[in-house]
Amino acid sequence: GIQVEQSPPDLILQEGANSTLRCNFSDSVNNLQWFHQNPWGQLINLFYIPSGTKQNGRLSATTVATERYSLLYISSSQTTDSGVYFCAVGYNTDKLIFGTGTRLQVFP
């Protein structure tokens, strides 16, 4: 099956800093989504981005499907950005395979 690797596993930032999270996958996908899981366990869909670039406020994401990676950019980080960020992928399916996540801690 498809393997999904995320890096870095952990990230500690001061408020206001920028960061880039990476997701590598081992096979062709046409379904790639980024999620944020807050400290209370809620899993929020950030982007549905099988290819190209999207932006939503301080967050943006880019997927280069031909090179099998996706990047999530967080600018001007805030304490509320803390949590775990997951990348999840699939091919012709919405039965997604999740990576192990990047744990982000933002300090004031």
Partner 1 sequence: ETGVTQSPTHLIKTRGQQVTLRCSSQSGHNTVSWYQQALGQGPQFIFQYYREEENGRGNFPPRFSGLQFPNYSSELNVNALELDDSALYLCASTRGDSGVSPLHFGNGTRLTVT
Residues forming contacts to partner 1 in the complex (CB under 8 A) are: 30-31, 33, 35, 41-45, 48, 50, 86, 88, 90, 92-101
What distance in Å separates the CA atoms of residue 48 and residue 89, rounded to the nearest whole number?
10
| Shortest Å, Cβ 94 to partner 1 | 5
| Shortest Å, Cβ 77 to partner 1 | 22
| Shortest Å, Cβ 7 to partner 1 | 14
Instruction: Give kind and range of the element (H or E) at residue 18.
Output: none
Which residue carries 């999207």 as its tokens? 54
| Shortest Å, Cβ 73 to partner 1 | 19
Q: Which is nearer to partner 1, 41 or 57 (CB)?
A: 41
CB-based contact 29:65 (threshold 8 Å)? yes
Q: Which is nearer to partner 1, 42 or 53 (CB)?
A: 42
What distance in Å separates the CA atoms of residue 69 and residue 29, rounded to the nearest whole number?
10
Q: Which is nearer to partner 1, 44 or 64 (CB)?
A: 44
What distance in Å separates the CA atoms of residue 4 and residue 100, rounded to the nearest whole number?
8
What distance in Å separates the CA atoms of residue 36 and residue 56, rounded to the nearest whole number?
13
Q: Which is nearer to partner 1, 45 or 53 (CB)?
A: 45
